[in-house]
Amino acid sequence: MADPQLHPTVEATATEIASMEVRGAAPIAAAAASALRAQAVESTAATPAGFESTLRAAGRRLQATRPTAVSLPNALRYVLQRMDGETVGGLRASVIRAADEFVDRLDRAQADLGAVGANRLRDGDRVMTHCHSTDALACIEAAVEQGKGISAVVKETRPRNQGHITARELRDLGVDVTLIVDSAARRYLGAVDHVLVGADSIAADGSLINKIGTSGLAVNARDRGTPIMAAAQTIKLHPDTLTGHTVEIEMRDESEVVDSETRAEIGDIAVENPAFDVTPPRYVDAIITERGQFPPESIVTLMRELFGESVGEPWEEPTGETE
């Protein structure tokens, strides 16, 4: 049941993230920060403690939607750790400021990352993509803006076919696009210059957590000698993995894989639908961030610089202070 304290925008955003109407790690982060902002703007809390408690409840509601993309908790951390003030008005202003700053930084980071990624692409290059990643597309967009001619082989990316979104967006950029089924990827790998994917999370050891199918693609790409680059803003770096935590892989509903008619036909056959997989760092050539490109094994240095060794969960109520 919806929490009556929560602003309708928080509920709506949480529902849209869970149903994947809002999807892609960066768009999810922006939506979550904006939802906290809406909660702050219209909060009717009478006391500073009440205001903070409601913002944390909104954070918990958003955090509980999807488990794999770390951009979501990183967005909540950014905003909630900057919530500061002695009065409701002061607290409200701090949340609005932090949310606006976060979204602004996100936009700038993607543009900066795009410029870094574009430097790896030469005029005439052919790129293979998997799923739909706004960070990955920013690299191709920047290359096209530099006047480079780029063509693309786009994997459709079952079960939700987000490759179709990539195909349309690349076509609109003027890229020559060929759409293929996922199982055709190996056949085309010898004829592409790069595999370019996004990331939902990057672990401290440089592992790439991305849409299911990425790891098989990366192994095949290595076998064919095709370099693989992952475009990932630093909000995709997973700080919990610094202390040994693993990244939870989201299991989604079987209805994304089989329709109800097929479900009835196949009877008691189990269907599983993992949304992501883990690509070991040795299969990834470069992680492209707004801070430059990194070999996966060195990403831990950047993570320590950005997060330190400890990260909080500012959406949790401090012990003994529930309201």
Coil/strand/helix, residue 253: coil
**109 assigned binding-site residue:** no
**168 assigned binding-site residue:** no
C-alpha–C-alpha distance, residues 130 and 12, integer Å: 28
Q: Which is nearer to ligand RI2, 24 or 73 (CB)?
A: 24
Annotated catalytic residue 200: yes
Tokens (6 digits) for 252: 């989604």
| Contacts (CB under 6 A) with ligand RI2, residues 231-290 | 275
Cβ contact 159:168 at 8 Å: no
Active-site option among 125, 131, 139, 285? 131
C-alpha–C-alpha distance, residues 270 and 259, integer Å: 14
**24 assigned binding-site residue:** yes
**273 assigned binding-site residue:** no
Q: Is 26 a residue that touches ligand RI2 (CB under 6 A)? A: yes
Smallest separation (angstroms) from ligand RI2 to the CB of 1: 26
C-alpha–C-alpha distance, residues 235 and 32, integer Å: 13
**66 assigned binding-site residue:** yes
Q: Is 162 a residue that touches ligand RI2 (CB under 6 A)? A: yes
Mask: binding to ligand RI2, 164-203, rule CB under 6 A, as x and -? ---------------------------------xxxx---
Side-chain-side CA neighbours of 292 within 13 Å: the count stands at 6
Q: Is 25 a residue that touches ligand RI2 (CB under 6 A)? A: yes
Tokens (6 digits) for 22: 């809002």
Binding part of the chain for ligand RI2, among 21-29, 52-60, 184-192, 299-307 by CB under 6 A, reads 21-29
Q: Which is nearer to ligand RI2, 97 or 250 (CB)?
A: 250
Phi-psi domain of 61 (left: phi exceeds 0; alpha: psi -120 through 50; beta: other): alpha
Q: Which is nearer to ligand RI2, 29 or 58 (CB)?
A: 29
- Report which residue type is found at 95: V
Annotated catalytic residue 139: no
What single string gives the DSSP state of each residue in 162-208? THHHHHHHHHHTT-EEEEE-GGGHHHHHTT-SEEEE--SEE-TT--E
**26 assigned binding-site residue:** yes
C-alpha–C-alpha distance, residues 209 and 215, integer Å: 9
What single string gives the DSSP state of each residue in 212-241? TTHHHHHHHHHHHT--EEEE--GGGB-GGG
Smallest separation (angstroms) from ligand RI2 to the CB of 200: 5
From the centroid of its chain, how far is CA 239? 14
Binding part of the chain for ligand RI2, among 24-32, 38-46, 148-156, 187-195 by CB under 6 A, reads 24-32
| Contacts (CB under 6 A) with ligand RI2, residues 96-155 | 131, 133-136
Choose which of 211, 234, 238, 283 interacts with ligand RI2 (CB under 6 A): 211
**210 assigned binding-site residue:** yes
Residues classed as catalytic = 131, 200
Give the residues lining the site for ligand RI2 (CB under 6 A): 23-27, 131, 133-136, 162, 197-200, 210-211, 275
Binding residues for substrate: 23-26, 66, 210-211, 236
